Copies of this chain bind each other. A is one copy, B any other.
Amino acid sequence: MSPVEFWFDFSSGYAFFAAQRIDAIAADLGRTVLWRPYMLGTAYKVTGARGLSSTPLKRDYARRDWARIARHQGLTFQLPADHPHVALAATRAFYWVEPELAAAFAMRVFTLYFNDSLDTASPEAVSRLAPDFGLKPGALLAGIADPALKEKVRRIGEDAVARGVFGSPFFIVDEEPFWGWDRVEMMAEWVRTGGW
């Protein structure tokens, strides 16, 4: 049984909402979740697209929509004043932390970014999460500065884009791609029924 691959950028509001539900939804399906942060900019280089927050009209719509989804789901959601951050430090830290602690670490990053403006671009800010996971901030800082780790993270993103991943959230399960927070139900139906 293949896992549900959950591709996302830590600065994606829609990924934040998907992250709240994906473990439970996958568990219902008898699947695990493979959390896979990557830099959306890697996809933008191929698609020529821009982030929602850099796009007139879509920017305003997305902010209204995120607030609406948060109210609907009873979630606290407070966009950082300088959203979006380029979450490279947080993404590298995720891959340094994984596998055991990775999902919990990702949820912590999401919550702190979208509730308390964690600077996901700052190695120092991200390193301060380490003690909550029994890790040392200095070790995390050194780990995410390691060229081999940086290269690994870059390659993971490029390999994903080469497989057709271009959005956030973006799911792949049983080789089938699903783009968007609003497609989680269709993905679940696909897995339950074996596809159509």
Contact = CB atoms under 8 A, between A and B. Distances in A.
Nearest to A189: B72
A138 interface: no
**Could you tell me the dominant secondary structure of chain A's interface residues?**
helix
Given A50-B48, A64-B177, A182-B180, A57 B161 contact: yes
Contact of A72 (B43, B177, B180, B196): B196
Contacts of A30: none
Nearest to A177: B61
B71 A196 contact: yes
Interface in A171-196: 177, 179-180, 182-183, 186, 196
A60 interface: yes
Contacts of A177: 61, 64
A43 B58 CA distance: 10
A166 B47 contact: no
A3 interface: no
Given A164-B61, A180-B182, A183-B182, A47 B43 contact: no
A173 B137 CA distance: 50
A21 interface: no
A86 to B, nearest CB: 20
Contacts of A72: 186, 196
A115 interface: no
Interface in A86-143: none
Interface in A4-61: 43, 46-50, 55-58, 60-61
Contacts of A83: none
20 contacts: A43-B57, A46-B57, A47-B55, A47-B56, A47-B57, A47-B58, A48-B50, A49-B49, A49-B50, A49-B55, A49-B58, A57-B161, A57-B164, A60-B164, A61-B177, A61-B179, A64-B177, A72-B196, A182-B182, A182-B183
